[in-house]
Structures are given as C-alpha cells and as structure tokens.
Structure 1
Amino acid sequence: MHNLAEDRREFALKRAYELKQSIHDYLEKEPFIETGFRMVKRNEANKEKILKYLGAGEEDWNNWIWQMKHRICQPEVLKEFLPLDEKRYAELVELSKHFRWAISPYYLSLIDFEHYENSPIYKQAVPVIEELLDRNGSDDPMGESYTNPAPRITRRYPDRLIINVTNQCAMYCRHCQRRRNFGEKDEHATKKQIKEALNYIRKNREIRDVLITGGDALLLSDVMLEWILSELDSIPHVEIKRIGTRVPVTLPQRITPELCSILEKHPPIYINTQFNSPLEVTPEAKKACDMLIKAGVVLGNQAVLLRGINDDEHVMKKLNQELLKIRVRPYYIFHAKQVRGTSHFITKVETGIKIMEKLRGYTSGLAVPTYIINAPGGYGKTPMLPEYLISWGEEEITIRTWENRVMKYSNKIYDLE
C-alpha cells in the first residue's frame, strides 16, 4: 500500500513525463535548426573567401569603417560568392536599377553560399522580383509623414517620441518599414535638424522617453552620438534614452570600446535591436552584446515575423532561447507592416498567434515576447494575444491554460472584518 509521499512522487513523475512529451516535437527538430554558433566553421570559411577576394586581413574585418566601405551592392560582386544562375543574376541586375541594397561583408559571411536561396540571411538582404511586382500596401503605412510635429520627430504616444537621425544602415533589410528613406545615398540628419528636434522635446515636458533611430542610429559618428546623448541628458524631464540599431546583428564590429565608453557615461540607455533568425546569433554578436552590457546598456530584441524566415514555432522558440543565452531579452514580435514591396514576407495574423501559443508555457517566460500589430496610420502598437480568459463573472472566471485545460478560478474579494 502506497503512503502519501509515494503517491505524490508517482503523480510528479507522471506529470514530468507529460511535460516532456508536450515538447517532444521541438526536441526532435531543435538539433537541426541552424544557429550562428552551430555554423561557425561555415561562416569562417565564407569569411576567408570574402577577405581573399577583397585583398584584406583580420584587422580590416574587425574595423567597422572598413566593413561599411566594402558593403556588397553590385550583382557582379555577389556572384563571386554565390552561384547565381543566369535568370537570378539578370533579375538582380534589373532590380538594382530600382532598389537600393547593400550587405556588410560580415553579414554576407552568414549566408549558406551553396544553398543561398533558402538562407534567411540572403532573403533579408537581397532584393527579389516580388518587390518589383508588388502593388499592395503603401510606402508609409505607419503614417509617419502625418506624425512629425518637428523636423526628424515622429510622435505617436503621449510621453515618448522618435528622433530619426539617419537613413544609413549596414544592410538594407528588404522588409524595412522605412524603405522609402533608403534613397540613393547615405544621409545623416544635420545638426540644425537635430537641434530643432531637441528644442521640440524641451518645450514638451511630458516627453520622458526618447528613441534615437533611423536607419541605424549607431552609424552616426561617436562625436555626434555623444553630443545628442549629452543634449538629452540636459533636459530635466527626459528620463530614459533608447537607441534603435541593428548593428549587433549586421555589423557587430561597430560596438567598439570607444563607443561603449560614451554609452557608459549617459545612463539609462536601452537598446532594442532586431535579430530575426537564430543564424544571426553568432559569437561576434555575443561579443558586441557583452560589451554593451558591460557599459550598462539594457538590451532587448524586436523581431519581425517574416514568411520563410521565422514563421515557424520551433525556429522562433530557438531564436528567443539563443537570445537569452547572450543576454538579449525578447521584447516584441512585430507583425510585418503593409509596406509596398514586402508582401512576400507577410504572414497571416493567426500564424503569429499560433507561435505565441507554442511559446507561452512551453519555454521560459523570459523567452516569450509580446506579439504586436502596428495600427495603420500611426495609431500605435496593439498586442495580439491568444484567448486565455474565456468568460468572467462577479465571483468566478473561466480560464484556458497553456495546455488548453479549461478551469474555473475564483474572482471573489474577501472581506475579513
């Protein structure tokens, strides 16, 4: 006859088995999901090919200015590394007449050269014919041109706003919400424009949170960044600064000791970056994030849900788990915006909901971001959540757990007097 302790242990073992079975499908597929750490040897071989072609060495590779000067933006150069067939090459030549594109040598090295067409890195970086054929969406679905009360300012919320400081990026994401700003050349905001933006912030004391973005805010010079941060620190009602950047993903060499010493002097600084694939979480990205964290920066990730890149529950889970390992907190998953030229990336909303259902409870809460749709016309971020509250009453609610167990829960307030 079992005693109570044995009964409890038997129950616990049965429950542990059930929990393990609930992620059996992930455990089977996880070893085959490519990550930046698993693909180190391939990436290193690609790096050597790129350096040989460019006649450069390790010191050049680790120099972010060299990386920017040697971005690949010509089809004939890309063909030196990828086996582009005649049709694909001809398409890329034509697309290059219509769209700006560029890839840092570092980001290029993350592509599977032999099977490039299926590479999440290639798909984010190189234009495809669908961009030219797409007539859906608009150039400015967020209505940013209607939410800029001062030069370089975008304001969509009561207590925070954006300063758009540049159109420059290390790599021009094909899904970018600001494709209209790519232009034909890199242009930073002028000091006069930024001064006008700062004056607007000074005059509106409800603004406590300022996001410096672009383009990529960390592609400004150290001198300009320090000036902007110092000016914001001089405004009493500005409590926090945020920086929008993808350089930990596309150009980790930009995170230098000199940059970190600047950031360290201006706390609190929050950086939200955009890792979209586990392949982007590399040793180089980890080193960059380690340096930022040591400088006191708080790191978060804002992934974009992209068809053919991360619209898979196992891939998204692996991405978020890899991010936690390098101390980047998954913050948002954005539903891809209705930007003209990007329809081939857009998923159904239910795809995002299903992914969220396979994160909550199935992995660490820290690895569960918020799934967001940006309301059209600049009306802000709207959370999309699976339905866990089924019904409610004065004394009782009905909930659905992450395992789809439906149960009652007390909604009473007890008066003990």
Structure 2
Amino acid sequence: MGITVRQPAPRNASIRTAPIRTSAGLVEAGLAEATALPVLEQVAASFAVSVTDQMAGLIDPTDPNDPVARQFIPAGEELRTTPGELADPIGDGPHSPVKGIVHRYRDRVLLKAVNVCPVYCRFCFRREMVGPGSETLDGAELDTALAYIAEHEEVWEVILTGGDPLILSPRRLAEIVTRLDAIPHVGIVRFHTRVPVVDPDRVTPELVAALKGKRIASWLMLHANHWRELDDTARGAIARLVDAGIPLLSQTVLLKGVNDDAETLTRTFRALVQARVKPHYLHQGDLAKGTAHFRTTIQRGRALMRELRGDVSGLCQPTYVLDIPGGHGKVPLTADYLAPDGEGGWTVTDPRGGRHAYSEEVE
C-alpha cells in the first residue's frame, strides 16, 4: 500500500513557500499519484501531514523507494496498528507534573513549548500529540512550566522539544532562553530540532542569536536520518549555528527502507561529522501506532553497529538506544541492559535496575 513518488513540481528556490499540509496538495505537487488520494486522506485523518519545499526538492523521482519520500509522504501501512503499539510509546504522560514539562530524569526536564513542526515524520513517536491545531503553551502555561523548573533545584538541563522549538519566532525563543538564563541552577539549554535540515532558511542570524543565553550553555540536537538530507543548504544552516559557538549533536532513528544498512549509516554519520555534528544517538524505532513497517529488529540494529565498529571512525559512532515503553528511560542496547526472554522477545533493564518485557512489533 505504499505511495508511488513522482517528480515534484518545479519550484523557485529563492521563494519561501508554505509546507504542503493536505493530501490534495501532495498530489498537486507531484509527490503522490492521484489514485493514492483515498489512502492519503485516510492516513491524514489520523496523523498530521506536512512536507516542506526543502524536503520535496530532495525527493528522487526515479526511485520508488526514495528514503526522503518514505520519511514524509504518507503510506497505507500507517493504517495498520499492531497490538503492542502505543499512543504514548515513551511514557511522557506519567512524568508530566505540569503542562509542557516532562521530568523523567532527575537532573533534566523536557520543555514542550510548542506542538507543531515544519514537517511530520511518518514514524514520529508523538504523532498523536502534534500537528496543526495542537496547543502551544500560552503565557500562563509557560509561566507555570518555568516556575516548576525554578522550584526544582536538581534540574541542571532543560531540553526544548515539542513539536519543534525552532518553529517559534526568534523573539519567542529569546524570551524563553532569557528566562531560563535567570534560573541559577540551570546550566544547559538543549534544542531538539529538525529545522536545519527540513527548513534551513529558517536558521537566520536572528534565530541563531535567540538560542544563546548570557550565562547558560546552548546545545542543539539535530534529527537527521539520511545523508541526502544534508545538502548544501542544510550544511549552510548547520554552519551558521556551529560558527556562532553552538555545539551540535545528532540523533538518528533506525528506519527500515531508509537507513537500515551499514553503507547508508556510514555515509550519513560521515556527512554529519563533516558538517561538524557529532552523532550521538541511533534510536530503535519507538512503538508508535502505525509504524511497524519502519521498525527493524533489535538484532538487526546490533548487527549494524558491529559492522560500523572498527571500520568507521569513532567520531561517527552513535550509541544505539531504546526508549523503554512506559517512561522507564533510555538505555543502550548492549548486553548490560538487554537479554533474550526465551520466548522471542527481550527483557530490558532500566537505569534504576527495573526489568521490563519488550516486544519489537515489527512487520
């Protein structure tokens, strides 16, 4: 039930256009066949759709399995849900003491100031919580979230996520950073974003300046899954951030049909390092609803990491991790944390020693 990708309509790179957010818009832009419209509309009824001009321009019309298209163009497989898939696969809800805050680890919190993104990844673990019309923290809610951080002196790092925080205006971002800068025990603000690769023109000097506080250090975690995302425009946006003194790490999701081979991962991690981005995490796909067709097995992921080890620079080696369903934390997928359960599944040990059954739910 996959979507056949065709040549995008010609575009003028000097003109900034709005993302495509409707099924009909995807067909009109040449990103999907008209015959796929009924399936597209079924998927869009449940999960948000958005493709930026930047991503549309990277799709290869000669490749029916294009890795960029697979990440952003809806497919009928999303309508299939396996029994183990979850609306909140990493357990944000149980660890959210106030709206916009997730406090899963003692010394750091997530601050979800916005629940919209410039693009919607088809494998997103928050795909049922983000999208057009989703709530952004209003002034009073942001005050409450920041008050929570100020009251909890153990919080050393604040991670702005969402949604994508870099979709906020520079003025709004600067306000948040300034207010965090004024909380003495906060030492780090980290931004989780896809913007530099999916909407690089948004990374203006004004936005870069807004990310930096006077006292706290600013870091940026870039989400990139394939070397094709790192074209000249994206590398230029990354350079503007790095040249301003903001260190960049990356996180990549292991995705079947996108990057689940050693050659693609090697080329992707090398491209990131050449762009001065240190690969940090390779994520096992989360158990989000309608995403089984993207997940590899853990055995496959571990085998890929073994292929990279030794033959590829240590700078290009991320940590292969699993976010344990239920909010139990993120752990490396090594023998220290993972063991077969004898029934075809796994037992995962969380950072505090708790043991949890885990089923991969793959197709």
TM-score (norm 2): 0.86
Mean alpha-carbon deviation: is it higher for 79-88 or for 135-144?
Answer: 79-88
Which residue type is aligned with residue 370 of structure 1?
T
In structure 2, what is the Cα distance between the partners aligned to 1:280 and 1:331?
17
Amino acid at match of 1:49: P
CA distance in 1, matches of 2:312, 2:62: 33
Shift of 1:325: 0.8
Contact 1:188–1:220, Cα closer than 8 Å, also in 2: no
Structure 1 residue 265: deviation in Å?
A: 4.3
Note if 1:198 corresponds to 2:159: no
In structure 2, the CA distance between the partners of 1:212 and 1:383, relative to structure 1 (3 Å rule), is same
Q: Distance in 1 between matches of 2:248 and 2:154?
A: 25
> Quick one: which amino acid aligns to residue 290 of structure 1?
A
Change (3 A) 1:240 1:83: closer
Query: 1:258 corresponds to which residue?
Result: 206
CA contact (8 A) 1:276 1:310 kept: yes
Figure out how many residues of one structure are paired with residues of the other and give that number.
Answer: 328
Counterpart residue number, 1:177: 125
Question: 1:332 matched to which residue of 2?
Answer: 281
* C-alpha distance after superposition, 1:127-167 (max 9, x if no partner): 11111122440100211110011221001111111000111
Aligned with 2:326: secondary structure? helix
1:244 alignment partner, one of 192, 198, 207: 192
Alpha-carbon offset, residue 263 of structure 1 = 2.6
Distance change (3 Å), C-alpha of 1:186 and 1:254:
farther
Matches of 1:200 and 1:98, distance apart in 2: 33
1:129-168 equivalent positions in 2, closer than 5 A = 129-136=76-83, 137-168=85-116
Contact kept in structure 1, 2:248 and 2:278, CA below 8 Å: yes
Residue 49 and residue 290 in structure 1: after superposition, are their counterparts in 2 closer, same or farther (change >3 A)? same
| Conservation of the 8 A alpha-carbon contact between 2:23 and 2:40 | yes
Q: CA RMSD in A?
A: 1.8
Aligned to 2:11: 50
Q: Which string of whole-angstrom CA distances, capped at 9 and with x for unpartnered residues, describes residues 179-218 of structure 1?
A: 1112442542112111111111111111001101110001
Q: In the alignment, is residue 307 of structure 1 matched against residue 256 of structure 2? A: yes
Task: Find the aligned partners of 1:370 and 1:201 in 2 and give their Cα distance.
Answer: 28
SS at match of 2:90: coil
**Alpha carbons 2:181, 2:213 under 8 Å: kept:** no
Q: Which runs of 5+ in 2 are unaligned?
A: 1-6, 337-363
Residues 1:283 and 2:220 aligned together: no
1:334-349 equivalences under 5 Å are 334-349=283-298
Cα offsets for 1:327-350 (capped at 9, x unmatched) = 111000010001111111111001
Any idea what the Cα deviations from partners look like across 1:230-281, whole Å, max 9, x if unmatched?
A: 1111111101110111001211111001112223444511100111011101
* 2:325 corresponding residue in structure 1: 376
Residue type of the partner of 1:50? R
Which digits, 9 at most, give the CA deviation of each residue in 1:357-378, with x for residues without a partner?
Answer: 1111111100000000111211
Distance 1:264 1:223 in 2: 12
**How many Å separate the matches in 2 of 1:294 and 1:264?**
13
Give me the whole-angstrom Cα distance separating, in 2, the residues matched to 1:154 and 1:94: 31
How far did 1:84 drift? 3.8
The answer to which structure has the higher helix fraction is 1
Aligned-partner Cα distance in 1 for 2:258–2:273: 20
Shift of 1:86: 5.0
SS at match of 2:219: strand
Q: 2: distance between equivalents of 1:356 and 1:386? A: 13
Q: Name the CA shift for 1:283/1:321 in 2 (closer, same or farther; >3 Å).
A: same
* Residue type of the alignment partner of 2:227: P
Structure 1 CA distance, aligned partners of 2:259 and 2:293?
13
C-alpha spacing 1:252/1:86, structure 2 compared with 1 (3 Å): closer
Residue number in structure 2 paired with 1:228: 176
Deviations 1:259-316 (A, max 9, x none): 1222344451110011101110110111001100111111010000111101111110
Could you list the per-position Cα deviations for residues 78-108 of structure 1 after superposition, in whole angstroms to 9, with x for gaps in the alignment? 2234374454233223323333201111111
CA contact (8 A) 2:323 2:330 kept: yes
Provide the rounded CA distance (Å) in 1 between the counterparts of 2:31 and 2:72: 16
> Who is 2:352 aligned against?
none
Output the amino acid matched with 1:151.
Answer: K
- CA distance in structure 2 between the partners assigned to 1:184 and 1:321 by the alignment: 34
1:123 partner amino acid? R
The reply to whether residue 352 of structure 1 matches residue 301 of structure 2 is yes
Secondary structure in 2 aligned to 1:49? coil
**Quick one: distance in 1 between partners of 2:133 and 2:146?**
25
More deviation in 214-223 or 378-387? 378-387
**C-alpha displacement of 1:75:** 3.0
Distance change >3 Å, CA 177–CA 77, structure 1 → 2: same
Match of 1:323 in 2: 272
SS of corresponding position for 2:249: strand
Q: Secondary structure at the match of 2:10?
A: helix
| Partner secondary structure for residue 125 of structure 2 | coil
Aligned match of 1:36: none
